[in-house]
Structure 1
Amino acid sequence: MYDQFYQLTGRPFQLTPDPDYYFESATHRKALSYLGYGLAQGEGFIVITGEVGAGKSTLVSHLMQSVDKFRLTAATIVTSQLDGLDMVHMTAESFGIDTRGLDKASTLKSIENFLHAEARSGRRCLLIVDEAQNLSVDALEELRMLSNFQLGSSALLQIFLLGQPEFRDLVREAPELEQLRQRVIATHHLDPMDANEVEPYIVHRLGRAGWNGRPQITPDAYAALFAETAGVPRKLNTLMNRVMLMGAVEQVDVLDSEMVAAVIADMAGKPFEYGAPMSSHAPVEKEFLKPVAVATVKESSVEPMAEPVAEPIVQPAAEPVASPLSNADVDVLVLRVASLEQRVAEQEAALRRVLSMMIDWMDRESSLESRFIQNSRAA
């Protein structure tokens, strides 16, 4: 909903990989070079690893946008716990091969026939396996066997393996994977972004969503974002989503380190204060919290006393008596009550605006989903 408040044309910090928002940091530039080299070789394995949220899937999606679809047939598998047989069937299905009623040998033959047909049509085949750290050694061995398919001296299938750091260690150290290691032609580990890349990253993604400079993000906010996320893209997206949301709720046009700190505390379930205008978490003056024995105070209902009372008269059976208030005290209380009522009214107005934006956003999402379903059925 913050996209509407800040008049953006999209959601710049969504967690789903989107090649349109690809940002080429120094480490992503190196990885893209390795992937490009691997594609040019047309054989073997390319291994790309990185921490969770480092941008591996976005990187490959960006690469796939740049390839010639008429010369390359690509399929993607996002794995869970797959054994060797599962991997064979998943590979076939990812290329659109019908495996119903087929055993393993027949499925392998169907894959080979498909690869030969693609090669005769002038197309190479690429299999991208994401979350490869979940693969068993048997599944990896089946992938190696699939890479053996050839037409003459040309390999029919090339494979990209994307995984978390432990997958790099597995490929490097497991004795059972010696033959696969010999077929790896390039590897690269995606590191987090440097501190000086956080601002260009955020500005790039905002720019892709039609950002016009609103909200403004202060330098100390960028420093706080890096300190919390260590430059990991997905962590940055998660935190920026919440910061932008708070900015919309608080109706502010400047996002600073104070807001970032408040969001971090909120995400951790800790109490926080934020002093933005119209903020429901703005610090409350301690004097506002003093107990007052009078529920409602009106200036016309209080008369000044002729002279101060030296000692209060206490009757054991009587209810507690409120201390008398001077005209000056009444004026202060009336102003404070009016100020609090104004704040409550402002917060209610802000909440109504936020609720309206949420309803508009849900309507838009529902409309997009309906159109997608209709298009799918039509297709």
Structure 2
Amino acid sequence: MYQDFFGLREPPFALTPNTDFLVNLNSHQECLNLLRVALSQGEGFVKIVGEVGTGKTLLCRQLLNELTASDVVVAYLPSPEFDGRELLKALARELHIEPLEDDLSHDVRERIFQRLIDIARGEQRVVLLVDEAQTMGRDTLESLRLITNLETEKRKLLQVVLFGQPELDDLLQGHEMRQLRQRITFSYELQPIVASNIGRYVNHRLSIAGYNGESLFESAALKRIYNASSGIPRLVNIICNKAMMSAYGKGDRIVSSNHVQRAIEDTDEALLSRSQTPWVLAAVACVIAVVGGIGYRVLL
């Protein structure tokens, strides 16, 4: 809608996880570096967690692109809401194993094992990327662990990267998950964008989309975007997109804090994020007051 007005080739703040728009923020770059090191060392399980909208799927796609261009056979499960048997069949399909109508879980597992051995003989390795891993059940995770038992004297035949929301950590708790927890040798928690990097994030996406003019967003507008989004990339994208629509609608070439405010008022999640802050501060103040009062009475 506003692309021609601002001289853009494509929408700069679309929510589709397009790796062309990946910004090398500290948290994202650290996470990618960890993934590269962990996979190069042949580790069995790697776990990446992050809140909704922090860019897990974008990083998963970036890693997928990098691995596809190397000597790695990649299997990708974007939303693994399977039971154990369905997981095995999904992995078999990713490894190009021809399905048999009457395959039992044991049979499918054996055929996967044989395929992994064949790939290893060809001097390749297999990496399984699981997005939205918090949707998996404990039985499904246990089935996945059993597949990773196969290894040579030098390395695992299957490496697994789990991308998930913080609920994944909850899922992995409990005595029955201890064997899988011990297999997770690298973990990382994605962080939101820090306030000092909001401008860099916004300007990078604008540049990739074709913008080459003066700063499009005022400093005050960027500050308001950060306060409303708490640095969550998806929320930043939503607010920026709506703010540019507001500026376009008024014929303004610069996005001001007023345009951003209108975008915030039209974004429920941003309003929720802002409304929670006073309550948190008030709760903390109450606790301090109560504790202080108790301490005062004790001293008396």
Q: Which amino acid aligns with 1:192?
A: P
Deviations 1:330-352 (A, max 9, x none): xxxxxxxxxxxxxxxxxxxxxxx
Judged with a 3 Å threshold, the aligned counterparts in structure 2 of structure 1 residues 108 and 238 are, in CA distance, closer, same or farther, namely same
Deviation of the 1:35 alpha carbon: 0.6
**Based on CA coordinates, which of the two structures has the bigger radius of gyration?**
1
Judged with a 3 Å threshold, the aligned counterparts in structure 2 of structure 1 residues 33 and 91 are, in CA distance, closer, same or farther, namely same
CA distance in 2, matches of 1:94, 1:237: 32
Q: Which amino acid aligns with 2:242?
A: R
Deviation of the 1:36 alpha carbon: 1.4
CA distance in 1, matches of 2:94, 2:68: 19
Q: Which amino acid aligns with 1:132?
A: A
CA distance in 1, matches of 2:174, 2:213: 51
Unaligned runs of 5+ in 2: 269-300
Deviations 1:238-297 (A, max 9, x none): 1112112222222210101111111222335xxxxxxxxxxxxxxxxxxxxxxxxxxxxx
Match of 1:55 in 2: 55
Deviations 1:193-225 (A, max 9, x none): 111111100111111111112672100000010
Match of 1:213 in 2: 213
CA distance in 1, matches of 2:80, 2:114: 27
Kept in 1: contact 2:47–2:186 (CA 8 A): yes
CA distance in 1, matches of 2:266, 2:134: 32
CA distance in 1, matches of 2:22, 2:107: 40
CA distance in 2, matches of 1:187, 1:267: 32
Deviation of the 1:151 alpha carbon: 3.6
Match of 1:121 in 2: 122
Secondary structure of 1:193's counterpart equals coil
Q: How many residues align?
A: 268
Kept in 1: contact 2:44–2:159 (CA 8 A): yes
Match of 1:3 in 2: 3
Kept in 2: contact 1:20–1:62 (CA 8 A): no
The two structures have a TM-score, normalised by structure 1, of: 0.67
Secondary structure of 1:127's counterpart equals strand
Match of 1:301 in 2: none
CA distance in 2, matches of 1:64, 1:266: 35
Kept in 1: contact 2:49–2:164 (CA 8 A): yes
Match of 1:24 in 2: 24
Deviation of the 1:166 alpha carbon: 1.6
Match of 1:160 in 2: 161
Kept in 2: contact 1:28–1:59 (CA 8 A): yes
Judged with a 3 Å threshold, the aligned counterparts in structure 2 of structure 1 residues 148 and 12 are, in CA distance, closer, same or farther, namely same
CA distance in 2, matches of 1:120, 1:183: 24
Moved more, 185-194 or 60-69: 60-69
Unaligned runs of 5+ in 1: 269-379
The 5-angstrom pairing of residues 212-361 of structure 1 reads 212-213=212-213, 216-268=216-268
Kept in 2: contact 1:214–1:253 (CA 8 A): no
Q: Percent identity?
A: 33
CA distance in 2, matches of 1:80, 1:122: 28
The two structures have a TM-score, normalised by structure 2, of: 0.84
- Are residues 1:196 and 2:196 paired? yes
Match of 1:144 in 2: 145
Deviation of the 1:32 alpha carbon: 1.5
Q: Which amino acid aligns with 2:59?
A: L
Secondary structure of 1:244's counterpart equals helix
Kept in 2: contact 1:130–1:161 (CA 8 A): yes
CA distance in 2, matches of 1:233, 1:151: 41
Deviation of the 1:104 alpha carbon: 1.5
Secondary structure of 1:60's counterpart equals helix
The 5-angstrom pairing of residues 174-193 of structure 1 reads 174-193=174-193
- Which protein has greater RCO, CA pairs closer than 8 Å, 6+ apart? 2
Root-mean-square deviation over aligned CA pairs: 1.8
